Structure 1
Amino acid sequence: MATIRKRSEGTYQIRVSCGYGVDGKQRKQFKSYKPEPGMTPKQIEKELTRQAVLFEEECKRGQITSAVKFEKFTEQWFEEYAKVNLRPASYARMKQFTKRVYPAIGHKRLDKITARDIQKFVTDMLVNGKNMNTGKPLSRKTAVHHLSFISDVFSYAIRMGMLTDNPCRRVYVPKQEQDEKQIYTIDEVKKLYENLRSEPMKYQVYLLLAIYSGYRRSEMLGLEWKDIDFENNIIHVRRTSQYTAEKGIYTDTTKTRKSKRVSKMPVSIMNLLKHFKAEQEAEAAQLGTKWEDHDRLFTKWNGAPMNPQTPFEWLKGYCERIGVPFRNIHSLRHLHASLLIFEGVDVVAVSSDMGHSVVGTTLNLYSHMFQEAKARNCDAISNALSFTNDIGTEEESPAEDDTETETEQQVLAL
């Protein structure tokens, strides 16, 4: 709201509050107004009101405020907002995004960045961007994540009163043909199982439990022995195990509220867990005071929580040793989902089993699988109603048959 103050020399000062700057201090803008000679007090009052409204609108449009560079403001956003409100893993991921964002728009003033600037950055990522680890082209999902990061920064600037518009709203991320999910075939799973006994017990348990449960890697590594109910053959998912370079390995909450769930397990898996528990207790007893008791199922040699990268490295090496294509660690979760879908489990039940927050997530991730399963339903109905298969196959009467028999052709030839 603009305020007006009369000065002694016959001029007026218009003051507008423009929110807060990156240093947390309130920003104010001032404008002087001097009435034209001969104006009446009523005319001056009316013009002052008009000038105040125009000046306030000018400030709101960001024409005066937000002269800070995008990179500088984003670093302030990390300190003021992200570090307080985001999970450490999300915070670390956002920091990684700056490696591409800052060279593109970090040098520009916050209020000068247009939707076209951001559109150019997003399009260039999809056309020319390469994955830093694999060298493969960047996915649409990666572009969406970067755009979401930029949008979060602009949204914060709006809340701080520094801007009134978020240019990311007008940016379009081009669609790409979705790659088919990499999933182990049943034959590959059979080969993985047949050679598994030569591997350490903890990896035997990890592989089979991952397939039977469909848990995320962070959920698997967050499992503790108190989560295993041997009496009722169920497992509780209550936490995750995460890693960042800054914090190291740490315990966190589940990804969403619905990710906290209970899974019923077959007797074979529970017996394997009992055997694994006995082996781990024997190792702890042998190490004595060197053993760190964290109650985790999956640990390092001394009982400390296992690094999230360890299962990935083991599975990759194991696949190479037995001649099975490595399809990444998350494909075990996709395999679990595909087995449920192809066995006719409905989408709501699959979503609950996978720990998705909404059913729409499950449909988006596995729409192709649900379509294939639905197509097979047609065959199931045909098989069940096989007694109707002769419908529409009536033989034509001889009188209507225009084809000539061999005897008729011989008679006509005479």
Structure 2
Amino acid sequence: MDNNQLFVEYYKEWVSIYKEGAIRPITLSKYKMAISWLEKLVPNLKICDLDRISYQKLINDYAKYHERQTTMDFHHQIKGSILDAVDEGLISKDPTRKAIIKGKTPSEKKPKYLNQFELHNLLTSLNLKDSVNWDWFILLVAKTGMRFSEALALTPEDFDFSKQVVSINKTWDYKGQGGFLPTKNKSSVRKVQLDWKTVMQFSQLVKDLPSDEPIFVKSNDKIYNSTVNGVLFRLCKKADIPTISIHGLRHTHASLLLYAGVSIASVARRLGHASMTTTQKTYLHIIQELENQDVDIVMRSLANLS
């Protein structure tokens, strides 16, 4: 290895050797996006010139275009290659040490989830025809909390109507060429319990469909996340409720379960999270709100003891 090599060329090689084939395509695309930003921001930076000041300047320049969390992700994607360069003796000291992560002012956030009343209004406005349409897809995601790619990959044989469960064991490659892919992680392989009404509805909907073919994807059709989000956007407008994304339905599902008193462990399993920590981080604001309610209950209970 040559420490006079351009850092962007070193990073390209590092991604090729250590990341390609080892991580999911969607994650790999983020590393390749980082390459594009290195080409834009530091095209002439050599490894031998990479120190704390030059690295901080790179992070600062990236932060001009991105919010803090996105800048943090970029930092972590780059940092791995730099630590390897330190191990290889190309850089004498870790230039990422004590890096300050900045970011532009966050844009106004759209609502991430609906409350129970709003979800009820959405579901009652669905046009659930006798044949498959995106309204059925929206209903199923709202009732199960599954990911977009997981719902696209469902086939009729994934349903066990007698036991009232649906098995999630694959995803659909909607960002690539189509076809089945593995789930996000091992924890994502799971069985999700269905309510009796959803069981009755879907048992009729899929009874004449090929058992091993996707319910919501027709052969050779290219599916875009934006298409389904557009359907949901129009439905939200029609129901006069906040507009959310399909992923927002997953958040809605989880938040309603937490507010109903379902344990974090059960919610984590139902969502297919790798650990409860992910669930706790994602829904921290709800958990804190519920804890505050618990404190009130405890104090009232203690007061009644006297």
Q: Normalised by the size of structure 1, how large is the TM-score? A: 0.65
Instruction: Give the match's secondary structure for 2:206.
Output: helix
Given the alignment, which residue of 112, 118, 125 partners 1:195?
A: 125
Q: Does 1:377 align with 2:305?
A: no
1:128-139 matches, cutoff 5 A: 128-129=64-65, 138-139=66-67
**How many Å separate the matches in 2 of 1:383 and 1:277?**
51
State yes or no: 1:337 paired with 2:274: no
Residue 208 (1) aligns with residue 145 (2): no
Cα shift at 1:256 = 1.6
- Verify the 8 A CA contact 1:219 1:241 in the aligned structure 2: yes
Is contact 2:156-2:212 (8 Å) kept? no
CA shift at 1:382, angstroms?
A: 6.2
The structural deviation recorded for 1:232 is 0.6
Contact 1:214 1:354 (8 Å CA) reproduced: yes
- Residue of structure 2 equivalent to 1:220: 151
Residues 262 and 72 of structure 1, relative CA distance in 2, 3 Å threshold:
same
1:400 equivalent in structure 2: none
Q: What is the aligned partner in structure 1 of residue 22 from structure 2? A: 85
For 2:121, the aligned partner's letter is: K
Contact 1:316 1:328 in 2 (8 A): yes
Name the amino acid aligned to 1:89: I
The residue number in structure 1 matching 2:31 is 94
1:255 aligns with 2:184: yes
Structure ID, larger Rg = 1
For 2:194, the equivalent position in structure 1 comes to 265
Question: How many correspondences in the alignment?
Answer: 303
Matches within 5 A, 1:28-67: 65-67=2-4
Which of 161, 176, 182 pairs up with 2:112? Answer: 182
| Matching of residue 111 in structure 1 with residue 38 in structure 2 | no
CA shift, 1:385, in A, is 7.3
Structure 1 residue runs without a partner (length 5+): 1-20, 22-64, 130-137, 285-292, 392-414
Q: CA deviation at 1:222?
A: 2.1
Shift of 1:224: 2.2
TM-score (norm 2): 0.85
CA distance in 2, matches of 1:145, 1:385: 46
| Corresponding position of 1:368 | 285
| CA drift at 1:358 | 1.8
* Post-superposition offset of 1:356: 1.4
2:161 aligned with 1:230: yes
**Counterpart amino acid of residue 119 in structure 1:** Q
Alignment partner, residue 13 of structure 2: 76
C-alpha distance in 1, partners of 2:84/2:24?
A: 17
Contact 1:119 1:172 in 2 (8 A): yes
Indicate the SS of the match to 2:172: strand
Q: Greater RCO between the two (CA within 8 Å, min separation 6)?
A: 2
SS at 2:114's partner residue? coil
Query: How many Å separate the matches in 2 of 1:174 and 1:362?
Result: 26
Distance of aligned partners of 1:162 and 1:252 in 2 relative to their CA distance in 1, 3 Å threshold? farther
Q: Which residue of 2 aligns with 1:141?
A: 69
How many angstroms does 1:183 deviate by? 1.2
8 Å CA contact 2:50–2:91 kept in 1: the answer is no
Give secondary structure in 1 for the equivalent of 2:198: helix
What SS is found at the alignment partner of 1:249?
Answer: coil
Q: Which residue matches 1:276?
A: 205
3-state SS, counterpart of residue 254 of structure 1: coil
Would the aligned equivalents of 1:348 and 1:359 in 2 still touch at CA under 8 Å?
A: yes
Whichever residue aligns with residue 238 of structure 1, its letter is N
Compare the two structures and name the one with the higher strand fraction.
Answer: 1
Q: 2:170 aligns with which of 197, 219, 239?
A: 239
Q: Distance in 2 between matches of 1:211 and 1:342?
A: 15
Residues 233-255 of structure 1 deviation map (CA, whole Å, 9 limit, x = unaligned)? 111111112344xx422432211
User: Could you tell me how far apart the structure 2 residues matched to 1:166 and 1:274 are?
Assistant: 58
Question: Unmatched 5+ residue regions in structure 2?
Answer: none
* Structure 2 CA distance for partners of 1:106 and 1:274, relative to 1, 3 Å: same
Q: Following TM superposition, by how much is the alpha carbon of 1:118 offset from its aligned partner in structure 2, in angstroms?
A: 2.5
Match of 1:120 in 2: 57
- Over 3 Å counting, the alpha-carbon distance change for 1:271 and 1:165 in structure 2 is farther
| Equivalent in the alignment of 2:98 | 170
Contact persistence 1:116–1:171 (CA under 8 A): no
**Partners of 1:221 and 1:308 within 8 A in 2:** no
Return closer, same or farther for 1:350/1:169 CA change in 2, 3 Å cut-off.
farther
Write the letter of the residue equivalent to 1:142.
T
Q: Distance in 1 between matches of 2:184 and 2:76?
A: 18
Query: How far 1:276 moved relative to its partner?
Result: 1.8
Give the percent of matched residue pairs that are identical in Structure 1 and Structure 2: 21
When residues 358 and 179 of structure 1 are mapped into structure 2, their CA distance, relative to the original with a 3 A threshold, is: farther
Equivalents in 1 of 2:94, 2:111: separation in Å?
Answer: 34
Q: What secondary structure, in the 3-state scheme, does the structure 1 residue paired with 2:262 have?
A: coil
